[in-house]
Amino acid sequence: MPEPSSPRRRTAAQLLVLAAVSAAFAAQAVAALRPHVPLLLVSTAVSLAVEGVLYRWQPGMVSLFAKSHADVTVRHVLRDLLLVVGLLRLGEQHRETQYAPLVAGLLAFYALHCAVQAVSVLVRRTRTLPVLTRNIDASALRLSPAPAALLRRPGHRLLVFGLPATAGLTATAVTDDARYAAAGVALALLLTAGGLCALLLRLLPGRRPAGEQEVLDWFDAWLAEYRPTVGLYFSGGPSSAYQANMWLEPLAGLGGRPVIVLRERFMVQRIAATDIPVVCLPKVSTLMRLEQSTLQVLIHPSNSGKTSQVLRIPTILHTFVNHGESDKLSSCNPYAKAYDEVWVAGPAARERYALAEVGVEDKDVVEIGRPQLDAVRPYAGPPTGAYTTVLYAPTWEGWDGNPGNTSVVAAGENLVRALLADPGVRLLYKPHPLTGSVDPRAGAADRRVRELIRAANRERSGARPAPSGELARRTAELDRLTKAVFRAGADQVERMLAQSAPEPGRARAVARATAAWEEAYWASLPEWEHQVVTDARPELYSCFDVADLLISDVSSVISDFLVSEKPYAVANTSGLPEEAFRAAFPTVAAATVLTPDAAGVPALLESVRAPEKDELAPARAELKLRLLGPADPTSQRRFAAAVQALCAAAQAHRTRAARRLTAELPGQRHQTTGAPAHSSRPA
């Protein structure tokens, strides 16, 4: 995949664009005042071309200009004004009277542009619903396709609608024929007036979506009809969607009436393919309507600032399941004590919370295993082919700047060089998606590692599998099932309309299609070729299945990989001696510890290829039990049992609260449903 541009290159490109814009306007001003027709023509053309570059390749500069009060409207007015000045300077005496209608037409065009923008804002507000959904029939809300994208984007609209006027003025400057300018201004006025009419029609009562109260009433009615019992609550940034997606399949496996509750509008499209109803409730006041619903339990895979808002609902019990477990402090966040229960994989996490002393009581910790890992293939012996597949999956640098968080900076290149030096190794490099997001050194090291892998592939050669078209067919099928196809310029309401009715059984079809795609993907790759795996597919667990060895950092990756009982190694970049490193991080107990210089890689590879030299196999089996719990019953069954038990506790809590209300205790506020707001923990 293409490498991201470096910050230095981005800065250079932005400076080049800024210089081009400044030079074009300066040249246009000189040409208008002298006057000089060829220079006026060239500078105007360059100015328009740079505008196209801005919107196509430098969207960040568009925001920068706007913050500097030099937005597209200002730039367009200045461009046309200089053209008018040039026309007046080129002409004869009394030419001001001849061009007065053109100036008036330009003023009318810009007035219409402002009117279109105002109406566009009104249309956008009518299409900004208080609730967004997926997999729910929302036809009663009068949803409709969005207006043309051009009408909703002021910069693009002004460039396109104003182009005839600018071109006409330029032609008049060259030919001294005012008819070109008049025709251009007239066409610009006609286009803008047409856009205004198209938007005004969207404001008619029968053309706009349901109003806020109508949507809320509809949502209440849907909750009453669907009667959800358990939900997944998620709030986070664009790159954090994987934390919720990993729990979709376990949630769907519960049966019953689950629901996914989101808080950010953009997250609706980042949730992976699922049959489960999805609701997005951006406002706290809308979120509080869940209090009157049948929802009993909310499952939380991550903490966020908005989590505290939903914890205020007294009729729902909350459990924290996390999106992965490791020995890092983030796996024992003090925020966990805010939940009614904390669900962990195995005994090790229970002990971790007890030792951390963050306020989580042992009675509130429930061991459920890791349902996502039930399908990971177990260890089947040493490599049998010509190559040993090694998965290097380092984590990211984290928020605290701890040098031991990621091995990429201090050890990544050494590890990769040592692995590539072995002719019998095929390397899979799968960095964390957030690598380099905090520490630029991690991003730079990641790019160097990728270049090492590309260079190694150039030096290798061998037979490639014959292209059979199987992967292309499997990709097309999986894309059809998982990727919603929207019209260019579709807004949230249009997407909501398109996703209101999923295919029955789509989730099962996606699971089958994913398995078939993964098999075709790995079969399509040469056995000798190293891979940089950064796309959404294949997933990490698929890499587990084909890997003979994992090298990673102290993270949830090694805890998950242990389900296979395959050999693994952990890079020690913490600066601690090995003995202290193992004592500080229990998940390292069954690992080969590698130093930053990667000196232990050859011996590690030998132990993987010769099981009799693998002295850590019994330790891995024991650690797996401590980290993930027993294999029987399965994690999915334990997860379902925990959900059932917490739902029962929530129902009992509501019953007790209703009895207290019926007794009309002194000072107790009256409610028709729900529970007192003083506690969400079962009495």
Instruction: Give the integer Cα–Cα distance in Å for 51 and 54.
Output: 5
- Predicted confidence at residue 683, as pLDDT, reads 36
Cis peptide before 314 (omega within 30 of 0): no
**Intervals of the chain under pLDDT 70:** 1-8, 68-69, 91-97, 328-330, 401, 502, 664-683
Q: Give the 3-state secondary structure percentages of the chain, helix then strand then coil, rounded to 5.
A: 55, 10, 35
Instruction: Give the integer Cα–Cα distance in Å for 678 and 312.
Output: 9
Taken in order of first residue, the domains within the chain and their CATH numbers are 7-129+149-201 (no CATH), 227-374+636-683 (3.40.50.11720), 388-464+526-628 (3.40.50.2000), 466-524 (no CATH)
CA distances (Å), origin 177, targets 33, 181, 459, 653: 20, 8, 66, 84
The pLDDT tens digits of the residues spanning 251-303 come to 999 988 999 999 999 999 999 888 899 999 999 999 999 999 999 999 999 99
- Predicted confidence at residue 501, as pLDDT, reads 77
- Predicted confidence at residue 334, as pLDDT, reads 86
- Predicted confidence at residue 6, as pLDDT, reads 57
- Predicted confidence at residue 330, as pLDDT, reads 63
Question: Which pairing describes strands 388-393 and 365-367: parallel, antiparallel, or unpaired?
Answer: unpaired
**What are the φ/ψ torsions at residue 318 (nearest 5 degrees)?**
-125, 140
Instruction: Give the integer Cα–Cα distance in Å for 234 and 229.
Output: 16
Are the CB atoms for 271 and 254 separated by under 8 Å? no
Q: Which pair of tokens denotes residue 41?
A: 């023509």
Cis peptide before 35 (omega within 30 of 0): yes
- Residue 481, C-beta contacts closer than 8 angstroms, at least 6 positions apart: 273, 503, 506, 509, 510, 513
- Predicted confidence at residue 672, as pLDDT, reads 44
| Partners of 341 in beta bridges | 319
- Predicted confidence at residue 665, as pLDDT, reads 53
- Predicted confidence at residue 91, as pLDDT, reads 63
Q: Please, what is the angle between helix 154-175 and helix 72-90, to 10°?
A: 10
Instruction: Give the integer Cα–Cα distance in Å for 517 and 521.
Output: 6
**What are the φ/ψ torsions at residue 381 (nearest 5 degrees)?**
105, 180
